[in-house]
């Protein structure tokens, strides 16, 4: 199995949202893709919400068949290539901070990730004793969240957090579709969650940059 030394990076997330909903939120969409600081959001997939991800730099000791799914997370491998040129988004988006995965069995999912060459680097206890695990995947962070009351038996993609240059300006642009801006868990940063009225299939939040 994997030694855990591979430097896996998040290359793309596959989302079922139609492109026009992301355009309405101020994202620049080209051929159904939103480029966000080295990660591509590929829109228009079949299903609901985030339906899969593609990783580059997966541990080569892992059999290709094992990379089709990581504890229920549809996974594809992609070659390492030069990052795309930055794209300017009207809403000020400059990158993807993290993608959130929930699991009813934290230890099982953490083991599956480790076997794919993605061991968690930090684990913390949230209020109530639930665990959160973190691993940087190149341009973004994976956050694994324990959800003991989840109805799904496997892990699933839950949402993502986009970094914007000016969170207050974004709030003015989106109006009632964006929730109240509040302090983030990360020191010195602020965050606001997109409301369901925006019509996206996954949870989306916007966060100020890490200064």
Which residues of 31-112 form beta strands (DSSP E)? 33-36, 39-42, 50-56, 69-70, 73-78, 93-103
pLDDT tens-place string over residues 74-90: 998 776 555 555 679 99
Q: Helix H segments across 32-190?
A: 106-115, 167-174
What is the value of pTM for the model shown?
Answer: 0.89
Count the alpha carbons within 13 Å of 131 in the hemisphere toward its beta carbon. 14
46 pLDDT above the threshold of 70? yes
For the chain, domain boundaries: 9-207
Q: Which CATH architecture has domain 9-207?
A: Roll (3.10)
The average confidence (pLDDT) of the chain is 89
* Arithmetic mean of pLDDT, 14-18: 97
């Amino acid at each position: 199995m994997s030694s855990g030394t591979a430097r896996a990076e998040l290359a793309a997330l596959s989302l079922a949202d139609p492109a026009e909903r992301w355009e309405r939120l101020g994202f620049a969409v080209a051929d159904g893709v939103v480029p966000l600081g080295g990660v591509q959001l590929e829109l228009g997939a079949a299903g609901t919400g985030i339906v899969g991800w593609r990783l580059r730099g997966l541990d080569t000791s892992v059999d290709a068949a094992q990379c089709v799914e990581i504890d229920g997370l549809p996974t594809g491998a992609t070659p390492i290539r030069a990052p795309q040129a930055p794209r300017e988004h009207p809403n000020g988006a400059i990158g993807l901070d993290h993608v959130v995965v929930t699991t009813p069995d934290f230890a099982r999912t953490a083991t599956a990730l480790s076997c794919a060459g993605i061991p968690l680097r930090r684990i913390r206890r949230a209020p109530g004793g639930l665990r959160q695990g973190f691993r940087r995947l190149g341009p973004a962070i994976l956050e694994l969240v324990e959800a003991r009351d989840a109805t799904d038996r496997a892990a699933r993609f839950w949402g993502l957090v986009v970094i914007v240059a000016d969170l207050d300006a974004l709030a003015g642009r989106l109006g009632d579709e964006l929730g109240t801006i509040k302090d983030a868990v990360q020191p010195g940063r602020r965050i606001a969650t997109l409301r369901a009225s925006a019509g996206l299939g996954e949870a989306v939040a916007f966060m100020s940059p890490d200064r």
